[in-house]
Amino acid sequence: MAYTNALKKLALLGATREQIQISSSDFAQQISSSPQTASRRLQALEKGGLISRVFVPEGQRILITQSGKDALRSEYYEYQKIFEPAGKEIELHGKVVTGLGEGQYYISLEGYKNQFESKLGFTPYPGTLNLMLTDKSTVLRKRLDESSGIPIHGFPSESRTFGGGKCFHVIIGKTKGAVIIPDRSHYPNDLLEVTSSKNLRNALGLKNGDQLSVKVLL
């Protein structure tokens, strides 16, 4: 807990956005401890890969790493579960980005397409709309990992085996669709794939960089 509080204090000082310059004695005052304790906390955070440090004559420059940000997001999510009621829907926000073109390939496969048609009630357009989620929505998206959703089963083909995943019905404005959550462990948490019977970019007049909100039904 003490090390988490130290990381949180660094974040409040701005270390998630840029390097901050601070001495161990100054940081000790921030966390109400001795300089020796503050130094040990910083050493532990650095050893754990949660911060990076560069020593300078005036002290040290500290930046919270991606692992550190992930640790803070996880704690934030835990507090969300305590103080925010778990509703039947969540709203995610992000900006439209270009995907890798995999959505069109996978959705067109009969093994997936047939399941989408029977379980979602529509024939998906061959392609997905990709959203890069905001930091807050990236945390909120974890609720999808904990919800059962609509299972999409993997299947074998002649050359390989395709993995499964799950889907959730979504509403974008007045347009209905679904988000796809693959089982792949390396799939980025801040990327959301949305499918619909329509070409969503054309139907909603979207281009890269546009902000969009998606209501996900749990």
pLDDT score at 76: 79
Given the candidates 1.10.10.10, 1.20.1440.130, 2.60.120.260, 3.30.70.580, the CATH classification of the domain at 2-69 is 1.10.10.10
Residue 61 has pLDDT above 90, yes or no: yes
Concatenated DSSP letters of 56-80: ETTEEEEEE-HHHHHHHHHHHHHHH
> How confident is the model over 189-197, as a mean pLDDT?
92
Average pLDDT of the chain is 89
The DSSP 8-state label assigned to residue 197 in this structure reads: S
The model's pTM:
0.69
Residue 106, pLDDT above cutoff 90:
no
pLDDT of residue 173: 87
Taking a C-beta distance cutoff of 8 angstroms, is the pair 70, 186 a contact? no
Range(s) of the chain covered by CATH 2.40.30.30 = 87-217
Specify the domain boundaries for CATH 1.10.10.10 within the chain. 2-69
Output the DSSP codes for 99-134.
--SHHHHHHHSHHHHHHHHHHHSSPPPSS-EEEEE-
Question: What confidence tens digit (pLDDT) does each residue in 71-102 have?
Answer: 888 787 677 667 765 667 899 999 999 976 67
Q: Is pLDDT of 60 > 90? A: yes
Report pLDDT for 104: 75
pLDDT at 11 over 90: yes
What pLDDT is stored for residue 2 in this prediction?
60
Quickly state the pLDDT bin for 134 (edges 50, 70, 90).
very high
| Partners of residue 100 on adjacent β-strands | none
Q: How confident is the model at residue 1 (pLDDT cuts 50, 70, 90)?
A: low
Residue 103 banded pLDDT, cuts 50, 70, 90 = confident
What CATH class has 87-217?
mainly beta
